[in-house]
Amino acid sequence: MPTSIHIPVLLHEVLDQLDLRPGLTVVDGTVGAGGHSSKILPRIQPGGRLIGLDRDPMMLAFAQEKLATSSPLPPAPFSLHQSSYADLAEVMKAQGLLHIDRLLVDLGLSSDQLADRERGFGFDAGGPLDMRFDTRAGVSAAEFLHTASSEEIARVFRDWGEEPAADKLAQAIVGGRRLDPVKTAADLVRVVERVLKIRSGTDLPVGHRTPGSHPATRVFQALRIHVNHELDQLTHFLETTLPAVLSPGGRAVVITFHSLEDRIVKQAFRNSTIWDMVTRKPIGPSPTEVRLNPRSRSAKLRCVTRK
Ligand SMILES: C[S@@+](CC[C@H](N)C(=O)[O-])C[C@H]1O[C@@H](n2cnc3c(N)ncnc32)[C@H](O)[C@@H]1O
């Protein structure tokens, strides 16, 4: 088993906002490689319990290893489940749990998934363009690009990637299906570069000049959101599941990585009949964290308590 390369973002801020103490029941809805969870677990002992969820079995294997080796003595109770956080109520029911005290959701994908060339998350991935967190469900990104209409593809690029050249890119993908189909992440990057006439990062058309981001970032984000139904899951979770399972006085911390996610979280937490806002403004990374872990640069943390 390789070691995880993921660095947990806003770690101190998460631990601070969660306001941990012995005996609490904590859910990490996106446990990933267990970076945050391994620091939460000792802080809720004795008597506390951690439940970790992730859709990706590869990440659960990383988390199992990390939590088992970093658990305090005597070993602290934790359980890991292959599930979406959107299905947390079912996982809790199976565990005989009615309420939880703390919840963390750290959205997006981990550096381990990005680095795995077989998953299609990274630009240089040579393997199939899959992009599903849970490959047991739904269709891969390559299959979507191979079967959807040009209009559907353009809508995904526009709605989930805010991509200004959505129509042109979708037409190029559909037009190339017979002779030059998009099968890998590298194929998709080539189409984007060809359509946007990009030779280098300094040669970007208007609307694509975000410093530090590759022009294919938007379509990769859009496809990942689409094949995993990410925004529907987040909305359902924040509006229905979380208010029902978090005990009164319980705390929830959510970390987002782009404006579409953050808008949904901000909107849901604005409901003052359910939530008391702890963070009036979202917390971002310090310049030092961004320097040490550039992936953290777009992170925004919001925290609420259940009324
Ligand atoms: C940014 S990583 C979490 C990293 C983790 N906090 C750590 O410190 O190691 C996001 C994780 O969320 C998982 N994920 C994405 N959507 C999910 C969902 N709907 N339910 C559960 N896990 C999800 C991904 O598979 C990935 O492992």
Distance 300 CA to ligand 1 centre (A): 15
What is the pLDDT confidence band of residue 2, given thresholds at 50, 70 and 90?
Answer: confident
Q: Is the CB of 258 under 6 A from ligand 1?
A: no
Among all chains, which residue has been given the structure tokens 């993921």? 6
pLDDT tens-digit readout, 10-61: 999 999 999 999 999 999 999 999 999 999 999 999 999 999 999 999 999 9
If one compares 217 and 144, the residue with the highest pLDDT of the two is 144
Residue 183: closest CA among 224, 141, 147, 138: 141
- What is the distance between the alpha carbons of residues 116 and 250, in angstroms, rounded to a whole number? 36
Distance 109 CA to ligand 1 centre (A): 6
Q: Which of 7-11, 81-85, 133-137 has the lowest mean pLDDT?
A: 133-137
Q: Does the pLDDT at position 78 exceed 50?
A: yes
Q: Is the CB of 54 under 6 A from ligand 1?
A: yes
The residues pairing with 275 across neighbouring beta strands, listed in sequence order, are 306
Distance 241 CA to ligand 1 centre (A): 17
Percentage with pLDDT > 90 across the chain: 84
Q: Does the pLDDT at position 279 exceed 90?
A: yes
Largest CA distance in the chain: 62
The predicted structure's pLDDT at residue 127: 81
Mean pLDDT along residues 258-273 = 96
Enumerate residues 6+ apart whose C-beta is below 8 A from 37: 28, 31, 50, 52, 63, 66, 67, 78
**Domain 115-228, classified CATH 1.10.150.170, yes or no:** yes
- What is the distance between the alpha carbons of residues 254 and 304, in angstroms, rounded to a whole number? 9
Q: Is the CB of 109 under 6 A from ligand 1?
A: yes
pTM above the 0.85 mark? yes
Ligand 1 atom with minimal separation from the 62 CA = 9
The mean predicted confidence, pLDDT, of the chain is 92
Ligand 1 atom with minimal separation from the 133 CA = 25
pLDDT tens-digit readout, 292-304: 999 999 999 999 9
If one compares 261 and 75, the residue with the highest pLDDT of the two is 261
The predicted structure's pLDDT at residue 200: 47
pLDDT tens-digit readout, 198-217: 764 444 444 444 445 788 99
Residue nearest to atom 15 of ligand 1 (CA): 108
Mean pLDDT along residues 270-287 = 96
Q: Which CATH superfamily is domain 11-112+230-306 in?
A: Vaccinia Virus protein VP39 (3.40.50.150)
Distance 108 CA to ligand 1 centre (A): 6
Residue nearest to atom 27 of ligand 1 (CA): 32
Q: Is the CB of 56 under 6 A from ligand 1?
A: yes
Distance 163 CA to ligand 1 centre (A): 25
Kindly list the strands in the beta sheet with 246-256, ordered across the sheet, starting from the edge strand earlier in the chain: 78-82, 49-54, 25-28, 100-106, 246-256, 300-306, 275-277
- Domains of the chain, by residue range, sit at 11-112+230-306, 115-228
pLDDT tens-digit readout, 242-257: 999 999 999 999 999 9
Q: Is the CB of 66 under 6 A from ligand 1?
A: no
Mean pLDDT along residues 143-169 = 97
Ligand 1 atom with minimal separation from the 7 CA = 8
Q: Does the pLDDT at position 107 exceed 50?
A: yes
The predicted structure's pLDDT at residue 207: 44
Distance 202 CA to ligand 1 centre (A): 33
Distance 32 CA to ligand 1 centre (A): 5
The predicted structure's pLDDT at residue 211: 44
Q: Is the CB of 59 under 6 A from ligand 1?
A: yes
The predicted structure's pLDDT at residue 212: 53
Binning the chain into helix, strand and coil, the percentages to the nearest 5 are 45, 15, 40
The predicted structure's pLDDT at residue 24: 97
